[in-house]
Amino acid sequence: MTGPESISLAPHPGFAAIERLADATGIMQHSRHSVPDPDHGYCVDDNARALILMHRRRDLADALHDRWAQVFADFVARAWNPERARFRNFMSYEGAWLEEAGSEDSSGRALWSLGVTAAEGRSPALRAWAQGLFEEAAGPMLGLRSPRAMAFCILGAAAILERDAGNALAARIVERFATRLAGLASAQARPGWTWFEPVLAYDNCRLPEALLRAGREDFTALGLRTLRWIADRQVASEGHFRPVGSESFGREYAEPARYDQQPLEAQGMIEACEAAFAATGDPLWRAHAERADGWFSGANDGRVALGDRASGECYDGLTPTGPNLNRGAESVLAFHLASCAIARLRGQGSKE
């Protein structure tokens, strides 16, 4: 691939990029250009994302879906460390775990994938496995303090509640963590700053999205308010999507830095807007989502396509000098999951 081009009108990217990165162990974290990099092995973060993708890609043939859903589910299952009541994150290429417990965020993301699998898995056996591990892991997760870890747990629990509204454990997770996120937003609020933290970091839109999916009127109102604030800061003066750059990290109460721009932020914006549109029917959220989707196909600061729908490849981000030519799992999965979300959003009827 000499350069990604958004030329296909198919609703989903080609699956070849996923298969390039994955093997019988799981999906590898990084690539050097298009060649998987074994030096960095695997992580539960990316395998949890890949497991969610298997449920969102309803177009995949059963044989292809079943093969890879099992691989990614097995990785998440092996990552769970009951002695530490946390998920391990990093595994070497040789299959050795590099830690006994990963970050709070990686544990939250693993729980998110279990909630989605329990709700959306194709087979009863896969759903039952995910439900069982969710119930084992969710209780210990109630002590998490990271804002994103809490948001990820809400997203997994909310998925279960869509299928089983009476699930007491999932409802407890949503109530506890949404209340904590609301408290963070209240503590940080000041003129010109409507956010949960004094800084802008990564995967920002997951915080308002979690509140929007929590299902309570006051949480929805706060989710809309904070999403509108972050959305306004991710529109360039020229009108295209400009995600919060990684150089923003650690800069308190500052406007977002332009670079480096990551596919994860475009995906998060689209999925949060999907939740906002579901809550309101306001076409504003469709417009924001379409703007973020355009970032992949060249409506960005570099005026260069970052995702290739034919192959499913996606560059690792946009830098001041052009694309980061590596194509790792986080970026490829973000492109695929964003495509699933924008397809769902385009298929929804307006509530007006």
pLDDT digits (tens, 9 = 90+) for 285-311: 999 999 999 999 999 999 999 999 999
pLDDT digits (tens, 9 = 90+) for 14-31: 999 999 999 999 999 999
**pLDDT of the residue at 10:** 54
Q: Give how far the C-alpha of residue 294 lies from the chain's centroid of Cα atoms, to the nearest Å.
A: 18
Alpha-carbon distance 330 to 89, whole Å?
A: 14
Question: For the stretch 236-256, what's the b/e string if a residue is b when 16 or more beta carbons lie within 10 angstroms of its beta carbon?
Answer: eeeebbbbbbbebeeeeeeeb
Q: Is the pTM of the predicted complex or chain greater than 0.85?
A: yes
pLDDT digits (tens, 9 = 90+) for 40-49: 999 999 999 9
Q: DSSP secondary-structure letter at 244?
A: P
pLDDT digits (tens, 9 = 90+) for 111-145: 999 999 999 999 999 999 999 999 999 999 999 99
Whether 246 contacts 276, CB under 8 Å:
no
Q: Give how far the C-alpha of residue 273 lies from the chain's centroid of Cα atoms, to the nearest Å.
A: 13
**Strands 80-81 and 86-87, bridge-based pairing:** antiparallel
Q: Where are the domains of the chain?
A: 1-40+189-352, 41-188
Average pLDDT of the chain? 95
**pLDDT of the residue at 138:** 96
Kind plus residue range of the DSSP H or E element containing 224: helix 217-232
